[in-house]
Amino acid sequence: MIGIAVLGSTGSIGVNTLDVIAQHPERFRVVALAANRNAARLAEQALALRPQVVALCDATAARELAARLAAAGSSTRVLAGPEALEEIAQLAEVDYLMAAIVGAAGLRSTLAAARAGKRLLLANKESLVMAGPLLMAQVRTSGALLLPIDSEHNAIFQCLPHGSRAGETPAGVRRVLLTASGGPFFDWTHERIAKATPEQACAHPNWVMGRKISVDSATLMNKGLELIEACFLFSLPPQRVDIIVHRQSIVHSMVEYVDGSVLAQLSSPDMRTPIAHALAWPERVTAGVPLLDLVRTARLDFCAPDTGRFPCLALAQAAASAGGLQPVVLNAANEIAVSAFLEGRLNFPDIATVIERVITKATAGAIRSLDDVLQADSEARRLAGEWCGRNQSGARSAYA
């Protein structure tokens, strides 16, 4: 029995992970679950799966969780606070850890799992974007196995030569091609995009995801973060990671080899496929996903992304080339701007404006330690917060 911890179990990836695990009770056992403040859903999951330990970062919500579990006679231990995530990541009973917390909040537990030599199933792309060199160094030192959950990176991993490991440049590869759905505003004009609401931004045509990644998909920042993620995972420079828009989200990414061969991974757009792949690797297990019907799909279209209407992608490409602390700043400014947008305090196009301003102002430099990362992250959050504050009146008038 393989012991699994799911961090971010109440979110979209977390729930999909538990769904796949439930299909293979002879193979996997849930040891730990964690989230931020959704006590009701975590209590439900804990009562159904009876893990050894559960944790909520928010202390009040953790008390509510403990009360719910005690009332139901559960013996699951309840932890509170961000440190609990790192504690879970190091538990001896945890063989595999699903890192599915959204944003920078997932960084420390992801690093802890890598340090502890776990099989790390990485959905939390922000931790690679922020601390790619540190995370990959931990993985190398501890011998942890890092398997990507992002459908694009999982697809690339599946198309690499047998024996490839994260952090090593794969032999014979000329470039990788990351596919992008183009998001809900793919064919919208500049003027229409300028008035986009959070509900419209979260209505993704092909995927059902959390709100933050949905907005990232609408701005194409998600593809920019994935570009940076791919550079670290496959040890490639940004010039060897191309982005191509593919509206159907059937081809999840491709690898081009020096002999001209291009290998692609195809499946229905359902995160349970990459989750099942990483859970079972190198074997295969069922995922509960509808099988692909190519005759029904009929067409696979591709085109170049438009960085004019989606400037966040260009900002991320520039940060990938600059390297060092710039991806940290990009990620932090993006997190602040996206949450301001979701709260109705910022217009959609101002997400890119805020990020650009913060990058111009923030301290640049190399990443030598986690402290460098955390300092750059908090400076960028402060600068972005100031800009979002200044833009508030503009946002209100646009929604009026």
Buried b (16+ CB within 10 A) or exposed e, 38-63: bbebbbebbeebebbbbbbbbeebbe
Rule CB under 6 A: choose which of 20, 57, 315, 362 binds ligand NDP: 57
Contact status, residue 318 vs residue 333, Cβ threshold 8 Å: no
CB of 21 to ligand NDP, least distance (A): 15
Rule CB under 6 A: choose which of 14, 182, 183, 311 binds ligand NDP: 14
Phi and psi angles of residue 31, each rounded to the nearest 5 degrees, phi first: -100, -35
In angstroms, rounded to a whole number, what is the distance separating the alpha carbons of residues 213 and 25?
30
Rule CB under 6 A: choose which of 4, 10, 264, 267 binds ligand NDP: 10
* SS3 category, 166: coil
- Residue 362 interacting with ligand NDP (CB under 6 A): no
Instruction: Work out the burial of residue 366: count CB atoms within 10 Å of its CB; fewer than 13 is exposed, 13-18 middle, 19 or more buried.
Output: exposed
CB of 60 to ligand NDP, least distance (A): 12
Binding mask 138-157 for ligand NDP (x = CB under 6 A): ------------x-------
For residue 19, the cross-strand partners are none
Output the six-digit token pair for 21: 């695990």
- Residue 13 interacting with ligand NDP (CB under 6 A): yes
Q: How many H helices and E strands in the chain?
A: 18, 11
Give the interface segment with ligand NDP, choosing from 35-43, 46-54, 317-325, 332-340 (CB under 6 A): 35-43
- Residue 278 interacting with ligand NDP (CB under 6 A): no
- Comparing CB distances to ligand NDP, the nearer of 57 and 144 is 57
- Comparing CB distances to ligand NDP, the nearer of 186 and 391 is 186
Neighbours of 360 (CB within 10 A): 9
CB of 7 to ligand NDP, least distance (A): 7
* Touching ligand NDP, residues 121-140 (CB under 6 A): 123-126
CB of 257 to ligand NDP, least distance (A): 26
- Comparing CB distances to ligand NDP, the nearer of 61 and 359 is 61
Rule CB under 6 A: choose which of 4, 5, 12, 327 binds ligand NDP: 12
CB of 105 to ligand NDP, least distance (A): 3
Q: Are strands 173-180 and 251-257 parallel, antiparallel or unpaired?
A: antiparallel
Contact status, residue 352 vs residue 330, Cβ threshold 8 Å: no
- Residue 38 interacting with ligand NDP (CB under 6 A): yes
What is the per-residue DSSP string for 65-103? HHHHHHHTT---EEEESTHHHHHHHT-TT-SEEEE---G
The beta strand positions in the chain, using DSSP E, are 2-7, 28-35, 53-56, 77-80, 96-99, 119-122, 145-148, 173-180, 241-245, 251-257, 262-266
* Touching ligand NDP, residues 188-247 (CB under 6 A): 207, 209-210, 212-213
CB of 205 to ligand NDP, least distance (A): 13
CB of 258 to ligand NDP, least distance (A): 29
The footprint of ligand NDP (CB under 6 A) covers 8-14, 35-38, 57, 100-102, 105, 123-126, 150, 207, 209-210, 212-213, 271
